[in-house]
């Protein structure tokens, strides 16, 4: 399966598993502009897989309402670049619903999917990686997969998680990444980074498309510089797995973080700062 097919498969499993689950967004009915929802409307009906009017704040608000009423909404933002009209609904509403009501109400069943990142021809407004904005919001979970197997497992985990989740899908990987993906239902743990390559000299941390870039870096560094890298895919941006990275850096003594988003105020800064504190305080070892 490639990544968009693994997303479809995760949505298919969710719709099968949970009769209250609904998949919706702009152009979702006919299969979506990235083909992630192909065949689902035919299979589950137009009341469960449907188009919405073009309004991201409407999609987010509508999805929160579904979740509050006990259903399982899986909403699509057509591009992460266009998620900002929904920022208020996501940051002020979804993230705070449980907290502000003292746990009387929550929208934990909410999952929002959005294609993110650069492809090459998307230019200014079809290339952004806005994960850091949402990582600054307590109450949200933010997840970015690096490939089809992780995409299905992590998306399933987001759908099942009792907290509102934002799932960014690096769109360059939709067709380029192909892996063996189980057809059946499975999930992978959230907030757990994965060590992909073990090494001793430096820790490299990335997520999404950058994991593939860093894999090449690992090879290059070994070949050209004789540097032995440890590579970690963060997978969940919030709440992130500080422990795995801190332990790795305690071993290697060096840390390099690569992300596609702007450097200033990016999530790399949070990791760098936190890891320094945790090493000084010896929080994890």
Partner 1 sequence: MNRRALFYSFLVISVSVFAYFAFSKVSDTIVTEILINSSKENVYAFLSNLENIPKISLPAKSVFITKDVVDDENVRHVNVIIVENLKFVGNLNLTSYFIFDEENYTIRSYSHILNGFLEITNLWKITNEGNKVKFKEIYQVASPKILISFVKREAKELHQHMVRYSSSLGDEKPQFPGSRSEYTYKLQFLMPDQYEGIPVYRVMTRKGEVLDSADDPNLDKETTQKMYKDMTLLNTMDRILYESQRQGRISFYMTNYGEEGTHIGSAAALDPKDLVFGQYREAGVLMHRGYTLDEFMNQCLGNVDDANKARQMPVHYGSDKLRFVTISSPLATQIPQAAGAAYAFKRAQNNLVVMCYFGEGAASEGDAHSAFNFAATLNCPVIFFCRNNGYAISTPTSDQYRGDGIAARGPGYGIPTLRVDGNDVWAVYNAVREARNLAISQNRPCLIEAMTYRIGHHSTSDDSQAYRSVDEVHFWHSEDHPIQRLRWYMERKNWWNDETEKEWMQSSRKQVLEALSRAEKKKKPSPSQMFTDVYAEVPPHLKKQFEEVKKHIGNYSKEYPLDKFEKF
Binding site for partner 1 (CB under 8 A): 20, 22, 47-48, 50, 52-53, 55, 57-58, 60-71, 73, 85, 88-89, 92-93, 96, 98-106, 108, 138-139, 141, 162-163, 191, 239-240, 242-243, 283
**Could you tell me the smallest distance in angstroms from the CB atom of residue 276 to partner 1?**
15
Q: Please confirm, yes or no, whether 56 is among the known catalytic residues.
A: yes
Which CB, 144 or 221, lies closer to partner 1? 144
Query: Of 5, 26, 56, 76, which is the active-site residue?
Result: 56
Q: Which is nearer to partner 1, 26 or 260 (CB)?
A: 26
Q: Which is nearer to partner 1, 70 or 184 (CB)?
A: 70
Which residue's CB is nearer to partner 1, number 53 or number 120? 53
126 catalytically annotated: yes
- Minimum distance from CB of 284 to partner 1 (Å)? 10
Catalytic residue, chosen from 5, 76, 93, 126, is 126
To partner 1, the closest distance from the beta carbon of 116 in angstroms equals 23
Nearest distance from residue 273's CB to partner 1, in Å? Answer: 13
DSSP string for residues in the chain: -BHHHHHHHHHHHHHHH-TTEEEEETTTTTT-TTSTTTTHHHHH-TTTEEE--S-HHHHHHHHHHHHHTT-EEEEE-S-GGG-GGGHHIIIIIITTHHHHTTTSS--TT-EEEEEES--SS-TTTS----HHHHHTSTT-EEE--SSHHHHHHHHHHHHHSSS-EEEEEETTHHHH-B----SS-----TT--EEEE--SSEEEEE-THHHHHHHHHHHHIIIII---EEEEE--EEET--HHHHHHHHHHHS-EEE--SS-STT-HHHHHHHHHHHHHHHT---
**Residues tagged active-site:** 56, 126
């Amino acid at each position: 399966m490639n990544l968009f097919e693994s997303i479809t498969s995760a949505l298919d499993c969710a719709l099968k598993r949970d009769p209250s689950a609904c998949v919706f967004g702009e152009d979702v009915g006919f299969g979506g502009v990235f083909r992630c929802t192909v065949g689902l409307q035919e299979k589950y009906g137009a009341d469960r897989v449907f188009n919405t009017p073009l309004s991201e704040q409407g999609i987010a608000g509508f999805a929160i309402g579904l979740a509050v009423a006990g259903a399982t909404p899986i909403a699509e933002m057509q591009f992460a670049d266009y998620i900002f009209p929904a920022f208020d609904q996501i940051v002020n509403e979804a993230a705070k619903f449980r907290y502000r009501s003292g746990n009387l109400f929550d929208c934990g069943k909410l999952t929002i999917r959005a294609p993110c990142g650069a492809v090459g021809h998307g230019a200014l407004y079809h290339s952004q990686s806005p994960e850091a904005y949402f990582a600054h919001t307590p109450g949200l979970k933010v997840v970015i997969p690096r490939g089809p197997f992780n995409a299905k497992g992590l998306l399933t985990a987001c759908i099942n998680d009792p907290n509102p989740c934002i799932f960014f899908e690096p769109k360059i990987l939709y067709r380029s990444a192909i892996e063996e993906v189980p057809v059946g239902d499975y999930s992978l743990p959230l907030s757990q980074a994965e060590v992909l390559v073990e090494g001793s000299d430096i820790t490299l941390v990335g997520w999404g498309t950058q994991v593939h870039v860093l894999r090449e870096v690992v090879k290059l560094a070994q070949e050209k510089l004789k540097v032995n890298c440890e590579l970690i895919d963060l997978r969940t941006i919030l709440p992130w797995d500080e422990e795995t990275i801190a332990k790795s850096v305690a071993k290697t003594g060096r840390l390099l973080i690569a992300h596609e988003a702007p450097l200033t105020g990016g999530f790399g800064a949070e990791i760098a700062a936190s890891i320094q504190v945790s090493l000084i305080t010896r929080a994890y070892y």
